[in-house]
């Protein structure tokens, strides 16, 4: 069974056909997806800027990391769930899209980032507050996180610009803008 | 409509419509800086709602975040204006665009009047919750309106 046929099978499940064919469901899921990106993506950016010592400097790192953690987790789960529903409902269309695969790789790297830095940075924010200077490992974690979380929504948007026949982004046209991203 | 036709032929429209990546780049700036603005506003809103940062005040958080909010909103609005100028006639005729523009206008006014005043003071729990909730709803309306401009115009 090829990967493409798996993508077709995913799209043909009752859940995904329901998402694609029921009026308003796809736009509503996308609205929730993008709202979460705006709200929780912004929180991720501010957490990273705090680790870099560039924002919220009057707040302890522990307060920023700990205070926003539950909301970022909830937002991440909602974002991923909505993203899976959108991608699954048009899975074969996404299959040849290089921006889709780039986004998937970036999301995988988010997992790798968490595996590496959660034990040494995010699980011990009090230690970062006690240090005279913010440790390099925390700044590296923040820079990589910033790169990843800026790239992911950009790739998500660029998915809508890909045209398989040309293999590259088209000249922006009004017609293209009005299609599903 | 004559003024829209005049707006349709401008240098920004040429750049965005006649280059391969112009529109996409402007849209990326619009999205990323909007996340910065919304993220910082939400940090203050979470405190007003009593959901995070119990050891600090909304006023302190507002003081720490307002520059990022301002930068985020400024870039977002300018990038958005550039996107609008790429096809002013199409956007002007979109009901969802009109909804988004009104929601954005109200949200910005609200953010720099009521939201600012309450966040800068020491509001009661009830006032904080109401003001924070209205802020969240306004910004979600802006995001939703912006999305539906593209999907359902």
Predicted confidence (pLDDT) per residue in A105-162, tens digit: 999 999 999 999 999 999 999 999 999 999 999 999 999 999 999 899 889 888 887 8
Note every long-range contact of A101-110, with CB atoms under 8 Å and residues 24 or more positions apart, other chains counting.
A102/A155, A103/A152, A103/A155, A103/A156, A103/A159, A106/A148, A106/A151, A106/A152, A106/A155, A107/A80, A107/A152, A109/A148, A110/A148, A110/A149, A110/A152
CA atoms within 13 A on the CB side of A131: 16
In this prediction, residue A168 carries a pLDDT of: 46
Q: Do A174 and B87 touch (CB under 8 A)?
A: yes
- Residues in chain B where the model's pLDDT stays below 50: none
Q: According to DSSP H, which parts of A14-97 are helical?
A: 14-21, 25-51, 61-89, 91-94
Q: What does the pLDDT look like over B61-103, one tens digit per residue?
A: 998 899 999 999 999 999 999 888 888 888 888 888 899 999 9
In the predicted model, is pLDDT for residue A2 greater than 70? yes
Residues of A in contact with B22 (CB under 8 A): 172
| Chain A closest-CA separation from residue B89 CA (Å) | 11
In this prediction, residue A171 carries a pLDDT of: 43
pLDDT more than 70, % of chain A? 91
Higher pLDDT, B13 or A73: A73
Query: Whole-number mean pLDDT of chain A?
Result: 86
In this prediction, residue B3 carries a pLDDT of: 62
In this prediction, residue B1 carries a pLDDT of: 57
In this prediction, residue A181 carries a pLDDT of: 39
Cβ-based interface (< 8 Å): residues of A facing B? 27, 30-31, 34-35, 37-46, 49, 55-59, 63, 67-68, 71, 150, 153-154, 157-158, 161, 168-174, 177-178, 180-181
Cβ neighbours for A96, distance < 8 A, ≥ 6 positions apart: A164
Average of per-residue pLDDT across A92-110:
93
């Amino acid at each position: 069974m090829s990967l493409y046929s798996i993508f077709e099978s995913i799209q043909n499940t009752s859940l995904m056909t329901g998402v694609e064919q029921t009026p308003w469901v796809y736009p509503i899921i996308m609205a929730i997806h993008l709202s979460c990106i705006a709200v929780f993506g912004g929180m991720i950016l501010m957490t990273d800027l705090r680790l870099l010592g560039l924002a919220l400097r009057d707040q302890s790192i522990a307060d920023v990391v700990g205070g926003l953690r539950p909301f970022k987790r909830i937002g991440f789960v909602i974002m991923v769930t909505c993203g899976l529903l959108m991608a699954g409902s048009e899975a074969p269309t996404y299959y040849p899209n290089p921006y889709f695969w780039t986004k998937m790789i970036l999301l995988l790297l988010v997992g790798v980032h968490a595996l590496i830095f959660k034990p040494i940075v995010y699980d011990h924010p009090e230690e970062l507050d006690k240090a005279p200077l913010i440790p390099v490992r925390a700044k590296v974690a923040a820079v990589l996180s910033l790169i990843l979380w800026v790239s992911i929504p950009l790739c998500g948007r660029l998915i809508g610009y890909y045209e398989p026949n040309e293999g590259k982004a088209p000249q922006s046209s009004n017609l293209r803008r009005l299609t599903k991203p | 409509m004559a003024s829209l036709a005049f707006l349709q032929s401008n240098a920004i429209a040429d750049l965005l419509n006649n280059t391969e990546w112009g529109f996409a780049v402007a849209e990326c700036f619009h999205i990323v800086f909007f996340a910065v603005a919304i993220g910082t506003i939400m940090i203050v809103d979470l405190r007003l709602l009593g959901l995070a940062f119990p050891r600090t005040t909304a006023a302190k958080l507002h003081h720490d975040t307002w520059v990022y909010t301002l930068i985020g909103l400024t870039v977002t609005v300018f990038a958005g204006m550039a996107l609008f100028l790429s096809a002013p006639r199409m956007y002007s005729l979109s009901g969802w665009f009109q909804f988004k523009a009104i929601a954005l206008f109200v949200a910005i006014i609200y953010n720099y009047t009521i939201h600012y005043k309450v966040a800068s003071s020491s509001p009661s729990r009830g006032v904080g919750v109401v003001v924070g909730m209205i802020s969240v709803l306004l910004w979600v309306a802006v995001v939703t309106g912006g999305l539906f401009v593209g999907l359902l115009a």
